[in-house]
Structure 1
Amino acid sequence: MTQLMVRLVLFDIDGTLLHTGGAGRKAFRHAFGTAFGVSNGTEGIEFAGRTDTSIVRELFLKHSVDHSNENLHRFFDTYYFWLDHILHNSEGNECPFVREFIHSLKSLPNPPTLGLLTGNVRLGAEIKLRHYGLWEEFCTGGFGDDHENRGEIAKVARSRGSEMLGHRLAGDEILVIGDTPLDVACARAISARCLAVATGHSPVTELESHSPTWAVRDLSCIEAREVCS
């Protein structure tokens, strides 16, 4: 059977595109304190690889805050303020060779559509990526406010990409790029190809143990045409 060309590339954000210096975690802590008067409310909460909405649910449960729409809006409105403020006062950077790889994707003879697959809520993702001048590179995706479960977010991203491109995308027409085993699982949830990059906290050996299509040190170690053809 002839292998299909990749038509949609979905990037994770934290650890794949950016290192924000922990801006998201810090913003969560400050926002929860500002909105609900709880100091160090995020202590003991695991953030890595989780969706923003699942973290908020755990925070509300831990501190007996009603999980109402009003309180969700109250928290996230405060979170957006703190995230923007902290990004402007934190040391962070793009992950290695991100811009070069994006340029290589866009320079292919039949360039794929670029999107996001992230546990960040959409506006949080935009704030982070705009700060580093990357938001405009992406035109679709799935986000943490689409669903608490990352596998379901992947399905949303596939659906939006399919609608944008005018046909239902097969798994082999989608490439997920991420830095954790959870990103590999996201790709598997929609039968997509997966490029795992060791630019986050997971080394190549750990990523390889989860059987992505490719596992590399960073985006300089593989060609865009290889992963898309």
Structure 2
Amino acid sequence: MVRLVLFDIDGTLLNTGGAGRKAFRHALETVFGIVNGTEGVEFAGRTDTGLVRQLFTMHAIDPTRENAGRFFDAYYFWLDYILERHPGNPCPSAPEFLRMLRDLPEAPTLGLLTGNVRLGAEIKLRHFRLWEEFRTGGFGDDSEDRDQIAHVAKRRGSQLLGRELSGDEIVVIGDTPLDIACAKAIGARSLAVATGSSPVTDLMRHHPTWAVEHLGRVTPEAICAMSSQ
């Protein structure tokens, strides 16, 4: 039986209309005076800390803890500001799916597996009243490497539940090939959803356990039975 379900955020739960990218761009300008500093940078599937390292290298910014702290303080401000004015939308069926999972008789623990830093994830999800659905997770400030974040999320979920979880007890839900790879890194099952930038046919090439167009195409009961598939 599945005991832990780990969700990606952007493109899986939420479509924020590029709020993260915009907040990064504004933070670079606010703190370092760099205009359009994110141009040409690929954000999909990346970790926030990895993006900051890349941007600091691109713009010859000294990668000190102080500079990173100043950047993220500005990023949090701008992310909240942008979402207040242009909130975007939840991905199709995502809020309903979360609540149906939560209401199952033997409900799994819900967690996050995301490249967002923790406070950025919280800001995004609170705007949609979804933050309180999650009890644990791995975040972009845990590592630049998404596979390592997956290991952190698995460890924290195991600690929360009081025993070491096996891969068969975990499902990772995400919208990119990187999310599928994260599941494989911890021996978990994966549900790929085509609510981001990758269509189902592209996701299937990476051999997820399941792939669907959106979360309305699968039932919570089926997710919790995935370990027996």
Same-fold call, TM cutoff 0.5: yes
Q: Report the counterpart of residue 183 of structure 2 in structure 1.
A: 187
Q: Report the counterpart of residue 166 of structure 2 in structure 1.
A: 170
Q: Deviations over 1:146-205 (max 9, x none)?
A: 000000000000000000000001001001000011100010110101010001110000
- The correspondence for 1:40, drawn from 27, 36, 39, is 36
What one-letter code is carried by the residue in structure 1 that aligns with 2:88? Answer: G
Question: Which secondary structure does the structure 2 equivalent of 1:114 belong to?
Answer: strand
| Identity between Structure 1 and Structure 2 (%) | 68
Q: Report the counterpart of residue 197 of structure 1 in structure 2.
A: 193
- The correspondence for 1:56, drawn from 47, 52, 59, is 52
Could you tell me how far 1:16 is from its partner in structure 2?
Answer: 0.3
Question: Which secondary structure does the structure 2 equivalent of 1:10 belong to?
Answer: strand
Question: Which secondary structure does the structure 1 equivalent of 2:85 belong to?
Answer: coil
Q: Does 1:135 align with 2:131?
A: yes
**Structure 1 CA distance, aligned partners of 2:87 and 2:66?**
33
Q: Report the counterpart of residue 64 of structure 2 in structure 1.
A: 68
TM-score (norm 2): 0.97
Could you tell me how far 1:88 is from its partner in structure 2?
Answer: 1.1
- The correspondence for 1:89, drawn from 85, 90, 96, is 85
Q: Does 1:126 align with 2:143?
A: no
**Structure 2 CA distance, aligned partners of 1:20 and 1:35?**
23
**Structure 1 CA distance, aligned partners of 2:107 and 2:184?**
23
Q: Report the counterpart of residue 10 of structure 2 in structure 1.
A: 14
RMSD value, Cα = 0.7
Q: Report the counterpart of residue 110 of structure 2 in structure 1.
A: 114
TM-score (norm 1): 0.97
Structure 1 unaligned regions, length at least 5:
none
Could you tell me how far 1:91 is from its partner in structure 2?
Answer: 4.6
Structure 2 unaligned regions, length at least 5:
none
- Which aligned segments of 4 or more residues in structure 1 are displaced greater than 4 angstroms? none
**Structure 1 CA distance, aligned partners of 2:3 and 2:81?**
36
Q: Does 1:224 align with 2:220?
A: yes
Aligned residues: 225
Q: Does 1:158 align with 2:154?
A: yes
